[in-house]
Amino acid sequence: MKATYTKYVLKFKQASGTSRGILKTKETWFITIESNNRKGIGECGLFRGLSIDDCPGYENKLNWVCQNINLGLDVLLQELIEYPSIQLGVETAFKSLSTNNPFEIFPSKFSRSEDVIPINGLIWMGTEHFMKQQIAEKIEAGFSCIKMKIGAIDFQTEIDLIKSIRNEFSSKDIELRVDANGAFQPSEALEKLQMLSEFDLHSIEQPIKQGQIEAMASLCEKTPLPIALDEELIGVFYPDEKQKLLETINPQYIILKPSLVGGFSGSNSWITLAESKNINWWITSALESNIGLNAIAQYTYTKRSKLPQGLGTGGLFVNNFESPLQVKKGTLQYNKLGTWKFNM
């Protein structure tokens, strides 16, 4: 068995505003495993400024994995516990190697184009005009669930935007999620949640910055609006740590980004713990290329969540890889007539 890795820089079609600032490019890494004339491909979706494994030794760790690929998946995953994005890439590459089609990671009705995954339409941070334009486009495209990133512009302007949507569309027409990316101060968060709750929102992601465990626990206890933990899960590696976090904060939802929480195995452990405590969840991609998105989408389908998922569209980048993935009427679909073009 032989393994290699390659760096690739994804270029955004237009600069995208996130809680990490304005993104124009995003680097990612691919692991390729070859054995018995077969090939497996996985993406290590490092997210600078957000991933816990955004560290100087990242490429050295990739090199170590390739040199030690014969240790096998289970041993590698243990050795990579603090490198969740590499865990996902390695898991995907091994799964890819084991199937007849290297792009069919989790064979299912979804990968056979027989079923679809409902997803939310994402509204990027920006000016009021830009955000209104995106909202109109998502509704026109048939999305019944929209997620707005808030916390970047004036809060009252954001409230007015949400109000304008609700004046036109009730919660039966459009499910609205908001993501604060930790933008609120603990002292003001409850008041802001009360204002937001007037608009019949589904939930708010990460209202205050992660790591403020007691403040978040208090907020989840008093909130008039369901709270979803997102960044709070990053860097929590071990089962006892995960259990303590969920028991202490007791959120209404958790959001799982496989690239940030330890791949499929890491996501599975969070799901098992959450369900044991009646905490609901959904899965989100984290600006991976279509290689990573494909693996995450196929995994997501097997988990059978009834909620709209936060899976990207693959259409954000000018140099993404051609794939059968497509977004249609608010769902992610696998077009059986589509083809893969991945040359690395």
Active-site residue numbers?
149, 257
Residue 333 DSSP SS3: strand
Q: What is the DSSP string of 289-326?
A: -HHHHHHHHHHHHHHT--SPBB---S-SBTTPPB-SEE
Q: Which of 281, 289, 242, 290 is nearest to 262 (CA)?
A: 242
Q: Is 130 exposed, middle or buried (0-12, 13-18, 19+ CB in 10 A)?
A: middle
d(CA 187, CA 41): 46
Position 48, amino acid: R
Q: What is the DSSP string of 184-222?
A: B-HHHHHHHHHHHHTT--SEEE-SB-TT-HHHHHHHHHH
Tokens 């609006």, located at residue: 225
